[in-house]
Structure 1
Amino acid sequence: MKRYVDGFVLPLPKDNIEKYTEIAQQSAAIWKEHGALEYVEAIADDMTAENMVAFPNLVGASTEETVVLAYIVYESREHRDAVNAKVFADPRMKELCGSDTDIFDCKRLSYGGFRIFVSE
């Protein structure tokens, strides 16, 4: 069975990078504890995209914002559904999500689940 990925792209105010990093590290531990194979959060570095749409443009990031690209890897979509059910029922996750909801604009977060069709 091919693995499955949840992907996220979001604009993050530069002033909130440290706070976001703390929450992301805690979230990663929870996802991994409940079975995720890999949890990655990456911050924008090289956003030059000649003749392409750069991520800051894609998410409408202002000059005071940067971009976060994140993904979580699972064994399958079914595995993702089982892991996420445990994660979202975990009281630690509920506390994290409720603690600092103003870190970034959740309405501008892009999300999707993806079937991996090439992996080397």
Structure 2
Amino acid sequence: MAYVDGFLLIVPTDKIDDYKKISKKAGKVWREYGALEYRECVGDDLDMPFGRPFPKLLKLKPTETAVFSWIVYKSKAQRNQVNAKVMKDPRLNDMDPKSMPFDMKKMSMGGFTVLVDV
């Protein structure tokens, strides 16, 4: 059964292009090591009239937006193998958390077992 790492983060809207450069680089590395999918999605229609809208949930400032991302793997075991290789890859080791175009302390992430795959 497929396994998914999911991410939700807050990015200043004026830093989206910087974030895109980093995520394209990271996505290539994850895919090279075996991830089946790597998606990064920027919020552009977040004020929904029902539920708890992302801006309220994330306490977004007017100058920020949400980025919703996921990486798909064959299994949790394969995810662990891929991530171990990614973490050792020198192409990503030069990324300083202090110079990221978003606050890493506000990032949420987790691993998910696929419940429905239609």
**TM above 0.5:** yes
What's 1:115 paired with? 113
Structure-2 separation of matches of 1:5 and 1:56: 24
Matches within 5 A, 1:1-120: 2-95=1-94, 97-98=95-96, 101-120=99-118
- CA distance 1:99–1:111, shift in 2 (3 Å): closer
**Alignment root-mean-square deviation, CA:** 1.3
The AA in structure 1 aligned to 2:103 is D
Instruction: Tell me the distance in 1 between the aligned counterparts of 2:47 and 2:20.
Output: 24
Maintained 8 Å contact 2:47/2:54: no
Counterpart CA distance in 1 for 2:99 and 2:34 is 25
The Cα of 1:101 is off from its aligned counterpart by: 2.7
Which structure 1 residue ranges, 5 or more long, are not aligned?
none
| Per-residue deviation, 1:59 | 1.7
Q: Letter of the 2:83 partner, please give it.
A: N
Q: Which amino acid aligns with 2:114?
A: I
Residue identity over aligned pairs, in percent, reads 41
The one-character-per-residue Cα deviations of 1:11-55 (angstroms, maximum 9, x if unpaired) are 100110111000000000000001100000000021122231111
TM-score w.r.t. length of structure 2: 0.94
Deviation at 1:99, TM superposition (A): 7.3
List gaps (5 residues or longer) in structure 2: none
Q: Provide the rounded CA distance (Å) in 1 between the counterparts of 2:46 and 2:98.
A: 27
- Give the distance between the partners of 1:100 and 1:40, measured in 2 at CA: 23
Asked whether the 8 Å contact 1:37–1:73 carries over to 2, the reply is yes
4+ residue segments displaced more than 6 Å: none
Check whether the contact 2:2–2:113 (CA below 8 A) recurs between aligned residues: yes
